[in-house]
Each structure stands twice: as C-alpha cells, then as structure tokens.
Amino acid sequence: MPASPLPALWSSDALVLLSLLLLTLFSLKLLPVREIYDLVNPRPSSSESSTPFSVHHAVASYSQYHRLSTQELGRMRSSYTRLLTRQQKRIAYDMGYTKKLNRYAEVIDLNAQFMTKVCSFVETLYGIPPSPSSSAGDLTRVRESLRHLVRDWSAEGTHERQTTFAPILSALSLPRGSSVLVPGAGLSRLAYELARRGYAVTACELSAYQNLLFKLMCECDREGQYEICPYAHWWSHSRATADLFRSVKVPDVVPRLSSLSFSLVEGDFLGLPSEPTYDAIVTLFFIDTSTNLLSTLARIHALLKPGGTWINLGPLLWTPGQQAAMECSLDEVIWAAESAGFDFSVQAGGAKTRTVECEYTADPRAMMRWVYRAEFWLARKV
C-alpha cells in the first residue's frame, strides 16, 4: 500500500512512564484514564479519516455491525419465505431451520455486545463516538477481524499459531534486547511472543480494525473476558448448526506489556524512516499484501542493520482488486530479494526456502480446509 503518515507510537512502556511523570507534575493527583490516553494516543486527524483502514472507518464499521447483520438476516428470512412452498416450509420448520434463523439473530446480538465494548473503548481512547448511521461501514472487515481475533488471542487459535510461529521462533536466535520489527503485525500476537523472549519489538500495522482489538485485549482484566461467535456468518461447509454458532472466549492470555520492550506503530510499513535500525525483521503472511513488492523488499533491506536477519513465512496470494504493480512467482521473489541485497541461508535439501503447510483463520470443525503451502526462509542483509 502507498505510504501514509504514521500516527504516534503506541507503547505500554511510554504509557507507564508518562503516567508516572504526570503523577509527579500534578502532586500525585490521579488523572482520569481518558486524559492519559489523549496524551499518548492523539485523536486521529481528519486527513487520516478518509483511508479505508483508519480509526474512523473501523469505528463506523464496528458500530454498524448489528444493523448490517440484521439487514442480512432479513434478506435470508425473505428468501426462506419467498422461495419455499408451503409443504417445503413445513419440512424446514420440522428440520429446525426457523430456529436456526432465530438463533442467528441471538448470535448477532451477542457479537453486537462485543462491538459496543470496542466502540466504547475507542471513544475513551480517542474521543471518537460510535457512528451507527454512517454509510462507511464494512461488514466484511469486521467479520474478518473476529476471525483474526480468534487466531491470535484464543485457545482455539493455538494450533494455527504454533504451526506458523514455531519455525520463526526457532530460527530467530539473537541476544536478548536485540531489536526486531514485525511489519503487518495484525493483532500482534507474534510480536508479543517475540517480546516475551526478551527482544525489543516494534509491531507495525496499518489497519485500525486490528490495532483497536489488540489494544482492547491489552486492557482486559482477565482471560476469557469477552465472548464472540466468529463462525456464524458463513453457513457453507458446516457439519452442525451448533458448530456454526459456537462461541469463543478471548483473550487466552492477557498481554501485559509494562514489563516488556514492546511498541506499536500504527501506519504503513513503507512510511517508516528508511534507516538501518533493526537486528531482525520478521514477516508473517505479509509480503503478498504489497502493492509494490520491490518497494517492500527495498524497505526491509534499508531498515535492517548490516548483517541483519530477515525471516519470512507466508504464501503469495496476490489479492484481486489491490492493483499490485507485480504479481510474482516464488522464484521471482527470491531473485528480487537477492538483487535487493539479501543472502539466503540454505535449507535442508539445499533449497533456499522450505514449505510449511498451514491454515489461516480457519474453522477447525468445518467440512472444508484451505491449506497454504507457505514458504519459509531466512536471509541476511549483505
């Protein structure tokens, strides 16, 4: 994606230090949480509100979840009423299909309660109120965010995380305190796990849909504080209605950042200052989101210190409609990376990469599996 101005760095360490400073300056008077958030997280500017991944767009989408989902349910009820004969409706009723539609309405209400929590949190954080009547809502991104939340911050997502995190954590062997950048961090679970291992981690994520949910997880009082139904919106390949409407609790772990060296940059990776800052850069399901692969490779190289490590794991799913400048095959990506100044470590069997079969935001109980044959590599800046 094209470079965009970066909002302020969001760091739990910075929040703690700033809070202590304020307490001192105000003779140990406690400031309201809102005031501290305003200082650390300035309200997004009006110029940022027009981007599809902005806080304003995310809030509009989260606050419209109930309305848009209920409209969709209305269309489903209409199709049921209009297309079935009287006898077929009786069969469907005996099957329990009417109860299924009613249950879906209850699940929408449950998820909407979570969306209300998100919007209230954002209003506290940025002073941006919910906008349930806005025309800017994107229901698809909200539903994707629920699935990402399960992947990163639930017990149900453990298998997916282990499959993709393990090769990265095993390959990254640097002294404690080494600086690590995670572009396209999503809900930042990988970045958090790296910070837990003693690295000084910077997570970079463009999407406010993801960043807001991560911040909400950081504010949780306990594990399993929120309950969501992430699989209810896609009825294909479902073995049982109960599976479709099952709930998942998040987070499985409350990310306490005060004892870690962790910061979050909210903005486009290509907008980061092009200086050799990091000992390692870790990209997970990231490089194929680039509209300009060559710019992405050049920026990864520029941000690494001499001899720095780049670890990648992911597919090459060039998203339709993103108008990527190039849609490269794996051999072309490797060629471009070597031309940019990377030396690839040889994997088992003499290859420069190795295949890791994995899923992404999958429903483990569904009748369908979408398995990526993702590629893993370790390269060094030369």
Q: What is the CATH number of the domain that holds 212?
A: 3.40.50.150
Instruction: Report the alpha-carbon distance of residue 105 to residue 99 in Å, rounded.
Output: 10
* Residue 2 maps to a domain: no
Residue 350's pLDDT is what?
86
Strands (DSSP E) contained in 197-245 are: 200-205, 226-228
Instruction: Report the alpha-carbon distance of residue 145 to residue 219 in Å, rounded.
Output: 18
Instruction: Report the alpha-carbon distance of residue 309 to residue 246 in Å, rounded.
Output: 41
Residue 49's pLDDT is what?
57
Instruction: Report the alpha-carbon distance of residue 360 to residue 372 in Å, rounded.
Output: 8
Residue 284, both tokens: 């997970």
Residues in the chain with pLDDT values less than 50: 1-17, 19-42, 46-47
Q: Which domain holds residue 110?
A: 10-381
Residue 320's pLDDT is what?
66
Instruction: Report the alpha-carbon distance of residue 283 to residue 191 in Å, rounded.
Output: 10
Cis peptide leading into residue 129 (ω within 30°): no
Instruction: Report the alpha-carbon distance of residue 356 to residue 360 in Å, rounded.
Output: 12
* Residue 356 maps to a domain: yes
Residue 166: CB atoms within 10 Å:
12
Residue 17's pLDDT is what?
46
> Which among 161, 201, 131, 217 is positioned nearest to 359, based on CA atoms?
161
Beta bridge partners of 203: 182, 264
* Residue 3 maps to a domain: no
> Which among 47, 59, 228 is positioned nearest to 137, based on CA atoms?
59
Residue 350: CB atoms within 10 Å:
6
* Residue 5 maps to a domain: no
Residue 248: CB atoms within 10 Å:
21
Using CB atoms within 10 Å of the CB of residue 258, give its burial: 0 to 12 exposed, 13 to 18 middle, 19+ buried.
exposed
Confirm if 276 and 248 have CB atoms less than 8 A apart: no
Residue 51's pLDDT is what?
81
Number of domains present in the structure of the chain: 1
CA dihedral defined by 281, 287, 292, 296, rounded to 10 degrees?
A: 10
Residue 153: CB atoms within 10 Å:
29
Supply φ then ψ for residue 158, to 5 degrees.
-60, -45
Instruction: Report the alpha-carbon distance of residue 120 to residue 100 in Å, rounded.
Output: 30
Instruction: Report the alpha-carbon distance of residue 116 to residue 67 in Å, rounded.
Output: 12
**Whole-angstrom Cα Rg for the chain:** 22
Beta bridge partners of 379: 310, 344
Residue 109: CB atoms within 10 Å:
12
Alpha helix (H) ranges present in 135-176? Answer: 139-153, 158-171
Residue 12's pLDDT is what?
45
* Residue 174 maps to a domain: yes
Q: Model pTM?
A: 0.86
CA dihedral defined by 43, 281, 155, 211, rounded to 10 degrees?
A: 10
* Residue 15 maps to a domain: yes
* Residue 4 maps to a domain: no
Question: Cα 317 vs. chain centroid, distance in angstroms?
Answer: 17
Confirm if 4 and 269 have CB atoms less than 8 A apart: no
Q: Which residue has the tokens 């990209």?
A: 283
Residue 20: CB atoms within 10 Å:
10
Residue 8's pLDDT is what?
40
* Residue 1 maps to a domain: no
